[in-house]
Copies of this chain bind each other. A is one copy, B any other.
Amino acid sequence: MEITRRDLFRVSAATAIAGAMSRVALAADDPLASWNDGAPKKAILDFVHATTDQSSSKFVPEPERIATFDQDGTLWVEHPMYTQVVYCFDRVPAVVKAKPELANVEPFKTVLSGNREAIAKLTMDDLFKILAATVTGMDVDQFEAEAKQWLDTARHPRWKQPYTALVYLPMIEVLNYMRANGYRTYIVTGGGQDFVRVYSDRTYSIPPEQVIGTAGGTTYGYDESGRPFLTKDPRLLLNDNYAGKPEGIHLMIGRRPYAAFGNSTGDRQMCEYTKAGDGERLAMLVLHDDVNREYAYGPAQGLPDTKVGTFTQALYDEAKSKGWTVISMKSDWKRIFGFS
């Protein structure tokens, strides 16, 4: 095929038309349709406009456009228990069957008792012990297959939906909107990195390499046939909470985010680190103040600060004083879930 100058001109004219069309489409459809008008929605739109407008002094080149999102309580429901903790508890009987000596050892004994009150009192240390015991020695492929199967069948006690259906529609819109504007979206979660990677792509359109989470080591070895495989081991490489979030971001990305979204004291340092960068930066915290449509916990309810995942009064005050935007689920979100 011969290609003339005229063809070349047509290509560039058509490219201009296509560009104009996509801008028209963007203006016509509200990318944040599940958000009520208000300061948080405006903060997101203004931030994206300012950092993607080449004529703006706040313009950010595309390779540097990184946005990080906590998961539990920020992208999906974390009550009454973190999904991954439910998963680990569900695995305890199988683990104890394989190692019967654990039946009389805490915290396994408490989990097996089914006593909800006692289970609710387990500490983060207890949870780490259970987590390590339930995954140590597993082939990473086997872990992935089992977690996938569990996610397909497990249901949330309140909504009777798969856990992956309990994502917040307004936050899915933020993820899509930022990606459409050249941002790479990362999950930065206290949850297990390998666990979240199992469903991040189909649930959030976030590929495994953009999931940073609490991570243990693996050990490379061989099966009887000489096939190499990786086994999960109990070494903790990254506790991706609090200061561990900026440390994990440095380890896995090596760039400071321009935008960070969280909902708890575990996200404080990530927000702080993000805002400490030059130029325009966005930090936002989801406040769970909607007892009817979801849950209400945190400063509005005066709940004590005893667990990871708590939005304390101190964090609320810091956010207000430092210009981190607080998102009220009750006031700012028209809809919460996609299924309702």
Contact = CB atoms under 8 A, between A and B. Distances in A.
Interface of A: 1, 3, 7, 10-11, 13-15, 17-18, 20-21, 24, 63, 140, 193-194, 197, 201, 207-209, 211, 215, 217-220, 227-228, 230, 237-238, 243, 246-247, 250-255, 269, 272-273, 276
Contacts of A250: 140, 218, 230
A272 B228 CA distance: 8
B208 A253 contact: yes
A276 B17 CA distance: 47
Given A14-B11, A21-B3, A209-B253, A269 B228 contact: yes
Nearest to A211: B254
A243 B269 contact: no
Interface of A is mostly: helix
B7 A17 contact: yes
A220 B208 contact: no
Copies in the complex: 2
A230 to B, nearest CB: 5
A13 to B, nearest CB: 8
A251 B228 contact: no
A254 B3 contact: no
Given A11-B17, A208-B253, A218-B247, 10 more contacts: A10-B17, A13-B14, A193-B254, A211-B254, A215-B251, A217-B247, A219-B243, A228-B273, A237-B238, A237-B251
B251 A218 contact: yes
A120 B309 CA distance: 52
8 contacts: A10-B14, A63-B201, A63-B207, A208-B253, A209-B254, A228-B276, A230-B250, A237-B238
A261 to B, nearest CB: 18
B269 A220 contact: yes
A251 to B, nearest CB: 6
Contacts of A227: 276
Contact of A254 (B15, B20, B194, B272): B194
Nearest to A237: B237
A247 B208 CA distance: 15
